[in-house]
Amino acid sequence: MGLDSLITPACLIDEAKFSANAERMKKHVSAQGVAFRPHVKTLKSLQAAHYYAPADMPITVSTLAEAEYFASAGYTDILYAVTLTPNKLEQTQLLLAQGVKLTVLIDSLDACEMLVSRWRSACSLAVALEVDVDDHRAGLKPDLPLLLEIAQRLEEARSLSFAGVVAHAGASYGCFTDDARRTMAEQEVSRILLAVSRLNAAGIACPMVSVGSTPTALSDVSRKGITELRAGVYATFDCVMAGLGVCQFDDIAMSVLTTVIGTQPDKGQVLIDAGWMALSRDQGTASHDVDCGYGLVCDELGNILDGWYVSQTNQEHGIISHMHNPNATVEAFSYGHRLRILPIHACATAAQFPSYYLVRDNTVAESWPRISGW
Amino acid sequence: MGLDSLITPACLIDEAKFSANAERMKKHVSAQGVAFRPHVKTLKSLQAAHYYAPADMPITVSTLAEAEYFASAGYTDILYAVTLTPNKLEQTQLLLAQGVKLTVLIDSLDACEMLVSRWRSACSLAVALEVDVDDHRAGLKPDLPLLLEIAQRLEEARSLSFAGVVAHAGASYGCFTDDARRTMAEQEVSRILLAVSRLNAAGIACPMVSVGSTPTALSDVSRKGITELRAGVYATFDCVMAGLGVCQFDDIAMSVLTTVIGTQPDKGQVLIDAGWMALSRDQGTASHDVDCGYGLVCDELGNILDGWYVSQTNQEHGIISHMHNPNATVEAFSYGHRLRILPIHACATAAQFPSYYLVRDNTVAESWPRISGW
């Protein structure tokens, strides 16, 4: 099936780039001598996961809906990497009753006490503690007495077990050089290991010592003491990752196929049928040296059209203009022509689509459904 | 069913506010003495539309998927308000073959020629021309000779008919006073009527003269010569509309129910389980006097907690802080407590959910599915 048969906007995955990105991480993690637990939150698709996270691998999920979806396809070792809330206890129990080895995350005594008082199940729940390694968002500082107190409380509680520690160096999204990312990766390792050594000294074992974000996971640092790496967006990449220097723009495996619906030559603008409903409202490169707006423009085959980007979006309208020349001639664009837009943030763009089209040799090879919701 | 039984994040519609907003527009349009064609793109839900656009009313849609969904429920008079592309011809034909009175929109000779050469159907396609009334996005300037040329070409073409003219004063989203909105509403009317008078003078009838955006539709100006008003977001409203002064924050009928997952007292931050996957990445009030970030914070019953807003979002994490006091005490928020977040842009937030919960007297009365895609 040709690209011209698709209704636009449509979300495309370039198979060659997708495979190459997956292979790059696989080789890197293997060279780092550590296990890998991919995050499936970017595409939330079984067919996509076959390329980078087959069912015999441990995975990370961002919602229990993802956990249910992947569990139903045979995935058994799942880390739910967002603090568990009381209203998700029943979903959690059902997953354990299915035989899933689910690990949940908390970072407070209040959450621990909620589990101690409310977890009533024949299955023991594995609970990991989130450690704050970069002062970025959530987690317990590794030197806090509270860390030991909560781990101890989990060890003593009936039907709960302390699974270990988990960290995510989200601050790596502000690291624009290899050196800065390496420093952040070393910090991620050293701070979580401080937590581990304190737990061990208190006689508490730490079976899981899990770190990762795409920028830090791809750094080459010692992983001694780390049991697993996590990363998610590396299989597609996006303009944010390219802007950081983690990949090249040409490595980006996801794009949104769109059609030109008009031009405004006096304004140097081209209108397309991909607005924020297709591209998302993410403007994650606004603080980068190159602000890619709502996405970079490529021709139908995926070749980047230098300087052209989506500068504005409404619900179903996107406006393309030239970064450096607001009066650029738009003659090369005409009604009905197809273009591809490289996403700013692949997780956000993917979430706008019910399914993706796998593109092989510039034809549509497969359609991959995805899931949404919580 | 109580709110405590919902898995968070969840999208709520407050029935009392939703009904009041719908009634306000209904009365206003009636007083303006003009027909009404609501836009269903905000909620894309049949159950929601029953409150403001029952099946005997003409409607506006933003995708042909919406047209198919509403047509299958008995809606017959549908305006598709985004320029038609060649790859959507087959969807269009199927809708007409079902007996839907579908009107499509174009704004160029290229699009007209595409339809003339490729529209092959037993059913005649009604084609409206988009008129640019505010130099905002798309459409033909009302004084262009091209306007007459395209209308003439449509009149002469077999199986096509010229339906009339459509305008959308998107620039009204930059109007922060009643006066500014009234001026914009008058401009919307006068400029589209200029197009109508030129068409009429050339002997071309204009059955449809359609204008509207929520801010201009709610203005009180003469609608003489206008056949219908359009508006969409008015039934829920959102922080953008409240920031413009079109409604009060307390009129906003949509909210996202969320759970506190942690606090960072030293940073004055509260973490919730609603990130951009639930709230969207829309920051439509960033240029307003009051930047509401990713949403305003209310207690579980919907009472606004003055000054608290969602200042940052990641995929499944939202961070609440105080607008005016970065060191505000977060003691009032604790793990497991439920809050509601008022959306910045209801269309964008709604799009993140597969369904909504209708709330009546602070209990869940119904669940309303919605559609997505194109």
Could A261 and B82 be called an inter-chain contact, meaning their C-beta atoms sit closer than 8 Å? yes
In a domain, B26, yes or no: yes
Name which of B108, B283, B372 is nearest A335 (Cβ-Cβ): B108
Residue with tokens 């909210």: B255
CATH of the domain at B283: 2.40.37.20
Same domain assignment for residues B294 and B166: no
Secondary structure element (H or E) that encloses residue B36, with its range? strand B35-36
* Whole-number average pLDDT of chain B: 96
Checking if the pLDDT of A161 tops 90, the result is yes
Residue A303 has pLDDT above 90, yes or no: yes
CB contact under 8 A, B276 and A348: yes
8 A C-beta contact, residue B184 and residue B167: no
How many CB contacts within 8 angstroms connect chain A with chain B? 148
pLDDT at B327: 86
Query: A280 contacts in B (CB within 8 Å)?
Result: 280-281
Cα separation values, A69 from A41, A214, A225, A354, A373, Å:
12, 23, 32, 15, 11
From B150, B175, B144, B131, select the one nearest B287 (Cα to Cα).
Answer: B175
Residue B247 DSSP SS3? coil
Distance, in angstroms, between B99 CA and closest chain A CA? 22
Q: Which of A189, A211, A235 is the last residue of a domain?
A: A235
Q: At residue A121, does pLDDT exceed 90?
A: no
If asked whether residues A212 and A71 sit together in one domain, one would say yes
Q: Do B374 and A87 lie within an 8 Å CB cutoff?
A: no
Distance CA B168, CA B189 (A): 10
What is the model's pLDDT at position A137? 84
pLDDT in tens, A235-290: 999 999 999 999 999 999 999 999 999 999 999 999 999 999 999 999 999 999 99
Whether B256 is in a domain gets the answer yes
Q: Residue A302: its pLDDT value, please?
A: 97
Calpha distance A110→B118 (Å, rounded): 65
Give the predicted TM-score (pTM) of the model.
Answer: 0.97
A-chain CB neighbours of B370 within 8 Å are none
Q: How far apart are the first and last CA of chain B?
A: 33
Select the residue of A282, A316, A336 nearest B114 (Cβ to Cβ). Answer: A336
Tell if the CB–CB gap between B170 and A4 is shorter than 8 Å.
no
Beta-strand relationship, B254-264 and B338-342: antiparallel
Domain count for chain B: 2
Contact A173, A137 (CB under 8 A): no
Sort out which chain A residues have CB atoms less than 8 A from B315's CB and list them.
Answer: 41, 62, 347-348
- B122 vs A278, more confident: A278
Query: Of A240, A232, A191, nearest to A212 (Cα)?
Result: A232
Nearest chain B Cα distance for residue A87, angstroms: 5
ω into A9 cis (within 30 of 0) = yes
Quick one: average pLDDT of A95-121? 96
Q: Do A192 and A135 belong to one domain?
A: yes
When pLDDT is cut at 50, 70 and 90, the band that residue A120 belongs to is: confident
Q: Looking at the partner chain, which of B91, B259, B276 has a beta carbon nearest the beta carbon of A87?
A: B259
State the alpha helices, DSSP H only, in A207-342.
214-217, 239-244, 276-279
What band does A301 get if pLDDT is binned at 50, 70 and 90?
A: very high
Residue type, A122: A
For the stretch B9-63, pLDDT in tens is 999 999 999 999 999 999 999 999 999 999 999 999 999 999 999 999 999 999 9
**Distance between A269 CA and the closest CA of chain B, angstroms:** 9
Of B64, B83, B314, the CB nearest to A262: B83
CB contact under 8 A, B316 and A63: yes
How many Å lie between the alpha carbon of B219 and the closest alpha carbon of chain A?
Answer: 22
With beta carbons under 8 A apart, name residues in chain B contacting A94.
none
Distances (CA, A) of A244 to A173, A239, B313: 7, 8, 19
Please tell me which of the candidates B6, B41, B335 has its beta carbon nearest to residue A111.
Answer: B335
Same domain, A250 and A301: yes
Task: List all residues 6 or more positions away from A115 whose beta carbon is below 8 Å from its beta carbon.
Answer: A84, A106, A125, A127, A154, A157, A160
Residues B32 and B159 in one domain: yes
Q: Find the DSSP H helices in chain B.
A: 15-32, 46-52, 64-71, 89-97, 109-118, 145-156, 178-201, 214-217, 239-244, 276-279, 346-350
Nearest by CB to residue B85, choosing from A63, A261, A353, is: A261
pLDDT digits 0-9 by tens, B207-265: 999 999 999 999 999 999 999 999 999 999 999 999 999 999 999 999 999 999 999 99
Q: Has residue B136 got a pLDDT over 90?
A: no
Cα–Cα nearest to A147, from A198, A190, A188, A111: A198
Nearest CA of chain B to the CA of A372: how many Å? Answer: 7
Q: Are A189 and A226 in contact (CB under 8 A)?
A: yes
Distance CA B280, CA B327 (A): 26
Domain boundary among B210, B235, B260: B235
- Name which of A254, A190, A245 is nearest A218 in CA terms: A245
Task: Quote the CA–CA distance of B170 and A173 in Å, as a whole number.
Answer: 34
Which chain B residue has the Cα nearest residue A284?
Answer: B281
CA distance linking residue A273 with residue B84, whole number of Å: 9
**Test mutation, A117, A281, A370, chain B, max B CBs within 10 A:** A281
- What does the pLDDT look like over A214-235, one tens digit per residue? 999 999 999 999 999 999 999 9
* ipTM value > 0.95: yes
Q: How far is B274 from chain A (nearest CA, A)?
A: 11
Nearest residue to A25 via CA among A37, A15, A13, A14: A37
Q: What is the 3-state secondary structure (H, E, C) of A149-200?
A: HHHHHHHHCCCEEEEEEECCCHHHHHCCCHHHHHHHHHHHHHHHHHHHHHHH
Is residue B374 assigned to a domain? Answer: no
Query: CA angle A234-A258-A66, nearest 5°?
Result: 40
Token pair recorded at residue B171: 């620039």
Give the C-alpha separation, A186 to A225, whole Å: 12
Please name which of B82, B91, B62 lies closest in space to residue B351, comparing C-alpha atoms.
B62
Residues of B whose CB is below 8 A from A278: 374
Helix axes B178-201 and B145-156, enclosed angle (nearest 10): 60
> Looking at the domain assignment, is residue A241 inside a domain?
no
Of B208, B235, B262, the one marking the end of a domain is: B235
**Residues of chain B contacting residue A259, judged by C-beta atoms under 8 Å apart:** 85-87
Handedness of CA A52, A56, A62, A66 (dihedral sign): positive
Residue of A64, A66, A85 for testing the chain B interface, max B β-carbons within 10 Å? A85
User: Which residue of chain A has the CA closest to B170?
Assistant: A314
Confirm whether B141 is domain-assigned: yes
Same domain flag for A279 and A212: no
Residues in A touching B369 (Cβ below 8 Å): none
Distance CA A237, CA A215 (A): 11
* pLDDT value, residue B122: 86
Query: What is the CA B70 to chain-centroid distance, rounded?
Result: 16
Range of the domain at B333: 3-9+246-369
Distance from B302 to chain A by nearest Cα, in Å?
19
- What local confidence, expressed as pLDDT, does residue A122 receive? 86
With left for phi above 0 and alpha for psi between -120 and 50, is residue B33 left, alpha or beta? left
Indicate if the pLDDT at residue B305 is higher than 90: yes
The helix-helix angle for B109-118 and B145-156 (nearest 10°) equals 10
User: Measured between beta carbons, which residues in chain B are less than 8 angstroms from residue A88?
Assistant: 7
A208 in a domain, yes or no?
A: yes
What is the enclosing helix (H) or strand (E) of A313? strand A304-313
Within this chain, do residues A347 and A231 fall inside the same structural domain, yes or no? no
Smallest CA-to-CA distance from A30 within A55, A48, A57, A49 is with: A57
CA separation for the pair B263, B254 (Å, rounded): 25
Q: Give the model's pLDDT for residue B121.
A: 85
Mutate to test the interface with B, among A64, A87, A173 (most CBs of B within 10 A): A87
pLDDT tops 90 at residue A83: yes
Inter-chain contact A110–B334, Cβ cutoff 8 Å? Answer: yes
Contact yes or no for B226/B34 (Cβ under 8 A):
yes
Q: Are residues A74 and A106 in the same domain?
A: yes
Tell me which chain A residues have a C-beta less than 8 angstroms from the C-beta of B281.
Answer: 280-283, 345, 348
Q: Looking at chain B, which residue has its C-alpha nearest residue A278?
A: B373
- Beta carbons of A271 and B137 less than 8 Å apart: yes
Q: Verify that A301 and A363 share a domain, yes or no.
A: yes
**Looking up tokens 């009066």, which residue turns up?**
A327
One-letter amino acid at B80 equals Y
Instruction: Report yes or no on B327 lying in a domain.
Output: yes
- Residues in A touching B110 (Cβ below 8 Å): 334-336
CA distance B164 to B147: 11
Nearest CA in chain B to A170: B314
B267 & B153 share domain? no
Whether residue B226 is found in the same domain as residue B303: no
- Based on the fold, state whether residues B211 and B253 are members of the same structural domain: no
Pairing of strands A208-211, B269-272: unpaired
Q: Does A365 fall in a domain?
A: yes
Residue A348 banded pLDDT, cuts 50, 70, 90: very high
Q: Which of A142, A90, A146, A148 is nearest to A121 (CA)?
A: A90
Q: Give dist(CA B361, CA B241) in Å, integer.
A: 25
